[in-house]
Structure 1
Amino acid sequence: MSHSNDPLFDAGRPNPAMAGIPLRFNSSGAEPDESRIAEAARILARPVKFVDADGYEQEIIAASFGPDGAIAYVACAAKELSEYVDVSFEFRLRGDPVGEVASEIVSYNPYFGCDVRFLDWFGSTSVLIYREKHDTYIAECTMEGAAQYKPISDYWITNGDRLGFWKYKGTEVRIFALPTLEELAPMSEAQAVAAGLCPTKHW
């Protein structure tokens, strides 16, 4: 299990000494902006990483800023118990007038980590894209309602209010509207290239 004072998880990835090989995939998107994470922690009046009163390691692993001071962030909580590690990842929004809403991210098993690849706002809706053990998911959430999660693929691209993604060895590019995640008519590769919605193929 964990060694000395090393964290159980770091930036959403498990300590290899505790949970084997962390997630490492060739996928679209980018690593979270550390300066945004630090600024979110400052606004939330908490450290980026700390151990809470119940012994859980808490960490902000991604953050983004929306209208009227709203913050979207992904939080990890982990604690080593006698026979297993209790770990969860939550997609959280903080803002007026509700305060904070949170949903546990969809995952085959959070023990294998959460690799956030995109977190941004479209008006009053925050959109999250992350990779878990088996799949990449896109999620949308507002201060007024529960988060919605949909599987996409590791190979995707955003352009304005649309997202295009390949399924492995697919012949068409699937299209989602942002931020609603409504699935639109698919495009041929040529159409997607012309629309700026054709991700790079990785096969």
Structure 2
Amino acid sequence: MPSDPTQALADTRLWLERAVIGLNLCPFAKAVHAKGQVHLALTGAPDWAGILGALEAEAAELARRDASERDTTLLVAPAGPADFIEFAGLVAQGERQLRTQGLEGVLQLASFHPRFHFAGTDVDDVTNYTNRSPWPTLHLLREASIDRAVDAFPDAADIYEANMRTLRVLGESGWKRRMEGGQ
């Protein structure tokens, strides 16, 4: 965890702008970011209960607001599980929590983690960076927005393959340069 937890928000904003949007890893992110509809939230909670409490509050707030005001939320948890497998358990619990909140079909939970690792790849495979964020992050998305985005981008299933190609061409050194501000 950074000595100044707000640094985690700055790191995440930079990652969003340079990697997610800059490399077009999510073709839907640029528009909502440009409209100011992406909310970055921070929880300093060091345990599952605290992180899930923050997730519950952020989910309720996102569901309460109009999509034109806030379309998606990134909840950054710098004190969250450093172990990716443990984090995956937290994400599963978060999905159950959304169902309990009555938000299944309204919100969807995605996640990013500094040690994200696709099954069947080596831990150091550069393609894992498509889902690696600077800090453990829970991403709340509106189902209706996902549906509209997929309708507007009929080849949404191709995004995954395009991202893999992008990262392979960029390589780990290119990724590091981009995150440091180079191209």
TM band (smaller chain): 0.3 to 0.5
**Structure of greater Rg:** 1
More strand by share: 1
- Larger relative contact order, structure 1 or 2 (CA cutoff 8 Å, min sep 6): 2
TM-score, length-scaled by structure 1: 0.30
TM-score, length-scaled by structure 2: 0.32
